[in-house]
Amino acid sequence: MPVRYLLDTNMASYVIKGNLPRVRERLVKVPMAEVGISVVTEAELRFGVARKPKASRLETAVEEFLLRVEILPWDSAAAKSYAALRSALERAGEPMGNLDMMIAAQALAALAVLVTHDRVFHRVKHLKIEDWTKAG
């Protein structure tokens, strides 16, 4: 079954830390086979752990999360989507961080819903977005 929901880094962090019960409540309603993250999000999560080498509980929680979620590799379709997205945002004068652009491009290429709490993604045309921190 293909990934239907791509969690961005902030949403993955909410799941790992468990500090927003509403996110976990929404997550348990979705088959885990339909939930994934970008390899970019994996890199950001691992960077967060590397910045806190004495946080062994955090490292364990991140590793357990990564075992349970599908990690989408960066591929040619994502690269093509990134090129189109970046050029469109630059023409519109709406810059975006490169890692966020890569995650958005990967969601577009995978035809997945990006699950995020970050409003910057609303600039991306045709990107389907859900915010699991909100009721509904």
The DSSP result for the chain, as a single string, is ----EEE-HHHHHHHHH---HHHHHHHTTS-GGGEEEEHHHHHHHHHHHHT-TT-HHHHHHHHHHHHHSEEEPP-HHHHHHHHHHHHHHHHTT----HHHHHHHHHHHHHT-EEE-S-GGGGGSTT--EE-TTS--
pLDDT value of position 61: 95
The reported pLDDT for the residue numbered 135 is 74
Domain count, the chain: 1
74 phi and psi, to 5 degrees? -75, 120
Is residue 44 situated within a structural domain?
Answer: yes
Question: Does a structural domain hold residue 27?
Answer: yes
Which pLDDT band holds residue 109 (cuts at 50, 70, 90)? very high
The answer to the question of residue 109 being in a domain is yes
In a domain, 24, yes or no: yes
Sheet holding 129-130, edge to edge: 70-72, 35-38, 5-7, 113-115, 129-130
pLDDT at 124: 95
Report the alpha-carbon distance of residue 103 to residue 121 in Å, rounded: 10
- The CATH number assigned to the domain holding 99 equals 3.40.50.1010
Q: Is residue 39 part of a domain?
A: yes
Domain encompassing residue 99: 5-130
In a domain, residue 57? The reply is: yes
1-5, 11-15, 60-64: segment of lowest average pLDDT: 1-5
pLDDT at 136: 63
Under the banding of pLDDT at 50, 70 and 90, the label for residue 3 is confident
C-beta contacts of 95-101 below 8 A and 24+ residues apart? 96/120, 96/123, 96/124, 99/9, 99/40, 99/44, 100/8
Arithmetic mean of pLDDT over the chain? 94
Asked if the structure places residue 53 within a domain, the reply is yes
Interval 21-62: pLDDT, tens = 899 999 999 999 999 999 999 999 999 999 998 888 999 999
- pTM for the whole thing? 0.94
Q: Is residue 20 part of a domain?
A: yes
Q: What is the pLDDT of residue 1?
A: 63
pLDDT for 76 equals 98
